[in-house]
Amino acid sequence: MTETIANTIAADDGRQTPGTVCAANESRFEAAHLSEPLTAFTVGWKDPEDLRSLLEFIAPSVRVGRRFEFRKADNAEAFLSETDDVRAVGSSFKRVEYTGETINAKTLNKGLTIRVDHDEEVGDDWQERYVQMLVQRLLRNELRRAVAALDTQDVSESKTWTWNGTGTAPNPDGDIRSALSAAATTTGVRPNRVIFGEGAWDLRSNAYYAQDTAGAFHAATLSPEELAKRLFVDGVKVVSARYNSGSTKGLVLGNHLYAYYAQQGVSRDEPSNIKRFVTPAGGSDFRVYVEQSSKYTDISVEHYSSIVLTSTLGIRRLALS
């Protein structure tokens, strides 16, 4: 009897009249508490730390549904080339295959809630200010996940970029070029992105300043954009973001450097080393909910994403001192 009644209860689609008993109320919750103005605010809001663009550089986003599949790039098949693609009369074109493993996955629901007492509501824009705080915190979480994903690969070298004036002077850019060349030899694809931790960038600059030569001084003054041109990569970024770790502020990426391959506007099967799969909701990656109570307001910001290391081949990590 109970099972029969349960089977007749309609699923909640947000359109039932008040008082209707539904099997679930998720969509009704969204309809009641989703704030479209605050959700739209997250689209145009500019993060003062620019974490959004930094995250996009490190782990380019790919728009997918909640459940999706992608092809894991275990080799450089996407860059293969041949000279026998000419079709003879009466014959078919040469058939090619991509053999990367197909993975089924889904994006994860992530979010944070803050409770604001009505006595602490100051100014007309208090809701926007709290939304900013939550979005910025969620982006910092994603940035840490992206760096942690790169850190799972095991191709790492230790380099010393400090110099006391004796012995052979360090050559940081030469070390980076060697790492890029080694990756290209392994996979056939030269890494096109390099990210420095703030500490690693300082070590590079100090190593050249200490040599007190015109060439070293010029190298020390290069901007990340100028260094990218010298290394023949698409971009170089310095990650200065910090997060609270106990009673101190920790660097998301300290005295380390990563070189790897990634592309903007990627597809699910494109052979980037790392991707951030995102399920958008309408025109925004984030959604904001507001729940009012008699004495306080709960503001929640959510998003759906999954950061995946789709290939470990060609990633190089330099641990610097």
SS3 at position 215: helix
Q: Quick one: what percent of the chain has pLDDT higher than 70? A: 83
Give the pLDDT score at 100.
64
- Express each pLDDT in 192-217 by its tens digit: 999 999 999 999 999 999 998 999 99
* Cβ neighbours, 10 Å, residue 94: 10
Burial bucket for residue 296 (CB in 10 Å: 0-12, 13-18, 19+) = middle
Encode pLDDT of 68-125 as tens digits: 887 766 555 666 678 788 888 888 888 877 666 677 889 999 999 999 998 888 888 8
pLDDT of res. 74: 55
Structural tokens at position 312:
């470990």
Classify 96 as helix, strand or coil.
Answer: coil
130 vs 251, higher pLDDT: 130
What percent of the residues of the chain are helix, what percent strand, and what percent coil, each to the nearest 5?
A: 35, 25, 40
Average pLDDT, the chain: 83
Q: How far apart are CA 277 and CA 260, in angstroms?
A: 18
Please say whether the beta carbons of 255 and 320 come within 8 A: yes
pLDDT higher at 154 or 276: 276
**Residue 1, pLDDT above cutoff 90:** no
Residue 127 pLDDT level (bands cut at 50, 70, 90)? very high
CB distance 309 to 279 below 8 Å: no
Which domains, from first to last, does the chain contain?
A: 47-81+101-320 (3.90.1690.10)
Greater confidence (243 vs 37) lies with: 37
Which H or E run includes 110? strand 108-117
Distance (Å) of CA 35 to CA 30, 193, 296: 9, 38, 17
Residues 6+ apart with CB under 8 A from 122: none
Give 128's pLDDT tier (boundaries 50, 70, 90).
very high
Q: Which residues contact 39 (CB under 8 A, 6 or more apart)?
A: 281, 282, 284, 286, 287, 288
pLDDT at 250: 81
| 133-161 pLDDT per residue, tens | 999 999 999 999 999 898 876 568 899 99
The pairing of strands 316-320 and 108-117 is: unpaired
- pLDDT computed for residue 2 by the predictor: 46
* Token pair 């109570």: residue: 293
The backbone torsions φ and ψ at residue 295, rounded to the nearest 5 degrees and listed phi first, read: -120, -10
Residues 145, 126: Cα–Cα separation, whole Å: 29
Tell me: the pLDDT tens digits for 41-55?
998 888 888 889 999
Q: What is the pLDDT of residue 189?
A: 82
Alpha-carbon distance of 181 to 274, in angstroms, equals: 20
Tokens, residue 29 = 């919750």
**Which carries the bigger pLDDT value, residue 105 or residue 237?**
237
The angle subtended at Cα 287 by Cα 50 and Cα 54, nearest 5°, is 20
Q: Which two tokens stand for residue 56?
A: 């996009």
Query: What pTM value is reported for the model?
Result: 0.80
pLDDT of residue 154: 59
